[in-house]
Amino acid sequence: MSTTNQEHSLLVNTNPLVLELLAQELRAEHFDVVATGPGEQAFHSLSDWLFSRASLPGMIDGWILADEYHDNHPDLAAVLAASQARDSAQGYIVHEDPSPAAVLYALRGITAQHHASEMPSQAEREEMPLAA
């Protein structure tokens, strides 16, 4: 990934060690990272990619953040850490208390899918006019 076209990620977690580890790993992969704890603070910082704990203190939890994120990015999945894995009607990726490595793997997968969907198909490339 080039540093001129950085992916923007919002990490929300109540565990400062997990938060910092994920932030460091994503920054090493050239993500522009905002790491925060409270859901209220995160609500105003929604980015291109979202990882959050489902359960957060305060009035705004990870589910509310994911819903707001989904409203702004309907084609991208949010990654949530919950007490148990489950399916999500909105397409969120919900892991049971994932390790930082599992979160990074999920974010990499979302990034790869998103970039693949931005690439024109062979048929679309063949229809594109050639520059003279």
Mean pLDDT per 10-residue interval, the chain, length 132 residues: 62 86 89 79 72 88 89 84 87 87 84 72 50 38
Classified as helix, coil or strand, 129 is coil
Q: What is the CATH number of the domain that holds 11?
A: 3.40.50.2300
Contacts of 87 (CB under 8 A, 6+ apart): 94
Residue 53: inside a domain, yes or no?
yes
Residue 132 domain-assigned? no
Asked whether 83 and 97 are in contact (CB, 8 A), the reply is yes
Q: What is the pLDDT of residue 118?
A: 66
What domain count does the chain have? 1
CA distance 50 to 84: 18
Residues in the chain, overall count: 132
Which structural domain range is residue 98 located in?
Answer: 3-127
Q: How far apart are CA 60 and CA 41, in angstroms?
A: 9
Would you say residue 23 lies in a domain?
yes
Whole-prediction pTM: 0.64
Contact between 70 and 79 under an 8 Å Cβ cutoff? The reply is no
